[in-house]
Structure 1
Amino acid sequence: MALRRITQETFDAAVRENVEEFEMDPDEALKDAVDQFQSQGVDLSCIVKAVPAEPSDDKQPEQTHKILQTLESLSLAQESENVTKAAADVKCFTEQCLLGFAQRYLAGQKGAYPIILSQCQKSLGEQEAILAAVTALAALTDGQPDLLDAEGKGFLLDVFKTHHDDSSVTRAAISAVRHCCLKHEQNRQDLIKVGILPLLMDAIKQHGGDANVVKEAAGALRVMTFDDDIRVSFGQAHEHAKMIVLQHNGLKVLIESARAHSGNTTVLSELCATLSRLAVRNEFCQDICDLGGLKLMMTLLADSYESAELVRQVLSAIRAVAGNDDVKDAVVKAGGVQLIVIAVNRHMTVSAVCEQGCACLGVLALRKPNNCKVIMEEGGVSAAVQSMKVHPDILNVQKQACMLLRNLVSHQPNYSQLILEMGVEALILHALKTHQDCGDIAKAALRDLGCNVELRELWTGKGAGITN
C-alpha cells in the first residue's frame, strides 16, 4: 500500500501546536510529531524534520527553515546586487542542501532552481563565484533531475566551454550533469544531442591527473548508459554506450585513466564500473581485452583484493567482458578463476562481492567445459556453496550461485555427484522456498544436478482453439 504524504507546512504546524498548545519543548515536540505521522502511515522522506528557525531579520517575519531563509536572503541580495552577500548565501544554501534530500526537495518546491540558475548565469565569468554557484546547482539537483530546463542545459554547456581549464569548476559542472541525468532519460538524450559526451571525454583527457575529475566524469558517462527512468518505455542506453565507445574512443580513454590512477581504489572502482556498462557488444569486450583492460583487472584483483568495493566493481567488469567466449578463455588462462575465488573467500561477508563472484564464475563456465574443470579444481563450487550459506536471505547471491552450479553440470554431468556431496541440494531447496524470484533457476539447477524437482508445465498450447 502506498504511503500517505503531507506538506512541509502541515508537519511544521503540528510541531508548533505541540509547542504552543501542549507546552512541549522543541525537541520533544518534533519527536512527537514524527512519531504521530509515522504511526498514521505518512511518508516523511521529503519532510525536513527540524523545528522551524526564528526569522533572521525583520524582512522574514515568520518562522521557517534555514534553507528557505537562506534562499530568501539570496533572492534579496540578487535584487540589491550585493555580490558579497550573494556569495555567502550561495555557500550557505549548498551546505543546507547537503544535509539531506528533504532540504533539497523543500527548496525545489519553493522556487530555488530559478534563483540558483540566475546566480550561476551572473557568475559565469568569475572563477570563485561560478564554482560556488555551480556547486549549489549540483547540490540542488541531486535527486531532483526534473528541475533542469533548457536554459539550465545551455548554461552547463557554457560552463564546460568557458572554464574548461579549471578542474574545480569542471568537476562541479560534471556533478550537476550526473545528478540531472540520473533517472531522467530526456535529460540524457537532450544533453547528448547538444554535445555533452565529447565535453566529458575532454575533461578526462585535460584533467587526467585530477582524480576527482576523472572519478566524476566516469560516473557521468556511466549514467548516460542507464535505463532507469520508469516513465520511459524504451531508453537509449545501448545507443549511448555505443556512441561513447565508437565515436569518442571511450574504452581507451578509461583504461589509460585507470593506469594513471593505479593506486587510487575509489577512482579505479568508478572506472571499472563504467567499463562494465560499455561492454555491450561482443567486439567491445574483445577491445577491452586487447587494450589491456583485462590484464589491468587481473592485476587489480591480485594487488588490491583488500578493498571490497574495488573487488566488486572489478568482478562486475570481468563478468561483463566475459560475455565474449574468447575473453572467457583469456580470463581463465590469466589465472582469473583462482583470483576470483580468493576474492570471494576474502570478502565472504559482503553479499555484493559474493554475488558478483558467483556471477563471474557462472559466465566463465557457460558453454566452456574446460573452464568448468578449472572452476572445480580451484574451489569455485566451495566458494559458491559458502556464499549460499552465509547469505541465505540475499536473492541475487542465491540466484547467481544456482546459475553457476547449473552451468557447471549442464554439459558436464559427471560433476553432479561431487557437487551434491557438498550439500547443495538442501541449499537450493531453501533458496527455492525463500525466494519466489529464484524459482526457475533453482529448479533448473536441481534438474541438471539430477535431483527430484517438480517442473510445472504452465501451458502446452493445447485444450483451446484459436478464435477470430
Structure 2
Amino acid sequence: MGGPTTKRTISQEAFEEVVRENMEDLGMEPSEALQDAIDSLTLQGVDLSGIITCVPGESSVQDNPVISLLEDLKKNWADCESKNEDELHQLSPLFLKLAQLCVDSDAEKTSGNSNSNAAIAARNGGVELVTSICGKVSGSGNEEVIVAVLQALSSLLCDIQSAQTFQKCGGPDIVIGILKQDTPNPELLNSCFSVIAASATGNEILKESFVNLKVDQFIMNTLKGSNKASVPSVYDAIRVLLTPDDYRVAASQVYGYARQFAKIGIAEALMDSLHEGLTSPTLVSTSVALKAVAVNDEICRSIADKGGIDAVLRCIDESGEQLNKPIARSCCILLSKLAGSDHNKSTIVEKGGMDRLIKLCARFANEPSVIQEVMSIINVLSLRSPDHASRAMEAGAGDMAIQAMQNFPAAQQLQRNACLMIRNLVVRNFENRKILLDNGIEKIIRKARESHENCKAAATDALRDLGLDNYNL
C-alpha cells in the first residue's frame, strides 16, 4: 500500500538564512524576501510545516505566541510535582490557551496551512513537553488541570509525526492510566478519548497500542455510563480505532479489533443510543461508530436481531419528517452497511424499506448527498436478488434515478451510484430494462460517462446490463 512521497525538511535556522540571503544578496524587500523563500522552497518539495515565517531582524521566533507559551510552560512546570493544588489551578489557563492556539481553524483546514500553530508547537518540542506534564499531573487528583493538559495535548496531535512522538513518550499508557482511575467526570473522559482519537488517526501503531491496553473496556464502561451523551469523543475514538487509514501498512488489524469490540458488547451498547432516535444528541456519531463495528455478517445480523433495522428505519422516517440531513445521511450509510448481510436484506425489504427510502428521497429532493446514499442502499438490497429489484422498481427507484441524474448532472458520486444501482435493477430483471430504456436512461447514462471519469466503468457496465450491444461506444 503506497503513501504520499516523503518531503524534504528544513530547519528554522536554514529557512531564516534563505530569507536573509534574499535580502542581502538579491536586494529584496523583507516581505518579498520572505514570500520568495516560501515559494521557492515549496516548489522544491520542502516541507515547511511548523516553520515560523518571520523576517530576520524584523521579528524573532521568540515573538511567536506558541513559542512564548511553551517557554512559559517549561519554566512553570519544571517543578510541577511539588506544586500545591492552588498553584496547579493557576497554571490551567496556560494549557487552555495553548489548546486554543493550536486547534486548527476552519480557514486553516480549508487552505491546508502547513504553518499551523499545532505544527509549530510539535516542531519545537511541544508534544514531548505536554505529554511529560500530563504524566506528572495524571495522579494529582486535580481533574481541572488534567483536563486542561489533555485538551492541549489533543490539539498538538496534528499528524503522524506528532503521534509517533506521543507514543514514544509513553502517551498511550498515561491516557489509559487516567481512564483506569474510573472517574465519572464526563469532561475528563471526553478529553481522554479526544486524545485517543487524535493520536490514532492514520496511525496503526497507536491503534494497536490502545487496543493492547484494553481501551475497549473503557469505551464499554463509558457507553454504559449515565453521562455518555456528554462524552462525544468516545464515538470518535471508536471510529478512528476501527478505520484502516494508515497508508504505511499493507494489512490493517482493525477488522479484528472490530470483532473484539462487538464481542464485549460495544455494538449492543451503541444500539441504546440508536433506539433513542432523534432525541439522542449523539445519533449521528452513534451511527458512524456502529458502522465501523459492523464488519461482518455475524455482527450485522446480531444488530438486526436486537432491533437495529427497526431503529434505523424509524430514524430515517423521522429524519425525513424533520428534514434533518445529517441524520438522514448517517442512518442511510449505516443501513447500507447492515444490508450487506443477506439475512438483513430481506428484513429491510419486508419492513417496507424500499418505499420508506423512496419517500426519503422525495423529502430530500434537492439534496444529492442524501439521494446518493439511498441509491447505495438499493444497490446493495438488489444485488443477486431479482425479487428485491422488482420491489425497488415498484417503489419508484427507476424514476428516482432518472430524475436525480437529470437534476444533478455535476454530482459525480450520485451519478456513479445511480449507474451501480441501475445495473442491479436490470441485470436479472429483463422487464426493468425496457421500462428504463423507454424513459430515456441510455442517454442519461452516456452523458454521465462522458462527464465524469469516476463514472466510466460503472456507466459502461450499466449500459451493458441494459442489453445494449454498443455499450462500449
The unaligned stretches of length 5 or more in structure 2 are 106-113
Deviations along 1:6-33, one digit per CA (max 9) or x if unpaired, are 7584777788999998777xxx779966
- Aligned position for 1:466: none
2:49 to 46, 51, 63: 46
Question: Does residue 223 in structure 1 map to residue 240 in structure 2?
Answer: yes
Deviations along 1:95-118, one digit per CA (max 9) or x if unpaired, are 111145721111111111111012
Letter paired with 1:98: V
* Identical pairs, percent: 22
Deviations along 1:421-446, one digit per CA (max 9) or x if unpaired, are 33221222123233344333222210
Instruction: Name the CA distance, whole Å, in 2 between partners of 1:268 and 1:62.
Output: 45
- Aligned position for 1:78: 77
User: Is the 1:181–1:188 Cα contact (8 Å) retained in structure 2?
Assistant: yes
Secondary structure of the 1:149 match is helix
TM-score (ref. length: structure 1): 0.84
- Aligned position for 2:274: 258
User: Is the 2:34–2:53 Cα contact (8 Å) retained in structure 1?
Assistant: no
User: Is the 1:120–1:130 Cα contact (8 Å) retained in structure 2?
Assistant: yes
Deviations along 1:228-282, one digit per CA (max 9) or x if unpaired, are 1000000112111111112x112210001233464135x1111111222222222
1:92 to 88, 91, 97: 97
Secondary structure of the 2:77 match is helix
User: Is the 1:304–1:310 Cα contact (8 Å) retained in structure 2?
Assistant: yes
> Superposition pairs for residues 37-186 of structure 1, below 5 Å?
40=43, 46=49, 63-79=62-78, 81=80, 83=87, 86-100=91-105, 102-124=116-138, 125=140, 126-143=142-159, 144-150=162-168, 151-186=170-205
Instruction: Name the CA distance, whole Å, in 2 between partners of 1:404 and 1:166.
Output: 47
Letter paired with 1:293: G
Letter paired with 1:252: E
Instruction: Name the CA distance, whole Å, in 2 between partners of 1:15 and 1:327.
Output: 63
Letter paired with 2:460: K
Question: Does residue 402 in structure 1 map to residue 419 in structure 2?
Answer: yes
2:219 to 200, 203, 207: 200
Secondary structure of the 1:228 match is coil
Secondary structure of the 1:148 match is helix
> Superposition pairs for residues 279-290 of structure 1, below 5 Å?
279-290=294-305
Instruction: Name the CA distance, whole Å, in 1 between partners of 2:16 and 2:446.
Output: 51
* Cα offset, 1:52, TM superposition: 8.3
Letter paired with 2:446: L
TM-score (ref. length: structure 2): 0.84
1:341 to 335, 354, 358: 358
- Aligned position for 1:464: none
- Aligned position for 1:269: 284
Instruction: Name the CA distance, whole Å, in 2 between partners of 1:433 and 1:97.
Output: 44
* Cα offset, 1:5, TM superposition: 6.8
* Cα offset, 1:385, TM superposition: 2.4
- Aligned position for 1:360: 377
- Aligned position for 2:316: 301
User: Is the 1:52–1:64 Cα contact (8 Å) retained in structure 2?
Assistant: no
Secondary structure of the 2:184 match is coil
Secondary structure of the 2:180 match is helix
* Cα offset, 1:78, TM superposition: 1.3
Instruction: Name the CA distance, whole Å, in 2 between partners of 1:412 and 1:385.
Output: 18
Aligned residues: 445
Secondary structure of the 1:304 match is helix
Letter paired with 2:181: T
- Aligned position for 2:109: none
2:343 to 304, 314, 326: 326
* Cα offset, 1:387, TM superposition: 2.9
* Cα offset, 1:339, TM superposition: 2.2
User: Is the 1:53–1:66 Cα contact (8 Å) retained in structure 2?
Assistant: no
Distance 1:80 1:240, change over 3 A: closer
- Aligned position for 2:207: 188
Letter paired with 1:116: V
User: Is the 1:3–1:41 Cα contact (8 Å) retained in structure 2?
Assistant: no
Instruction: Name the CA distance, whole Å, in 2 between partners of 1:278 and 1:40.
Output: 42
Instruction: Name the CA distance, whole Å, in 2 between partners of 1:39 and 1:388.
Output: 41
Instruction: Name the CA distance, whole Å, in 1 between partners of 2:360 and 2:41.
Output: 42
Root mean square deviation, CA, Å: 3.3
User: Is the 2:52–2:61 Cα contact (8 Å) retained in structure 1?
Assistant: no
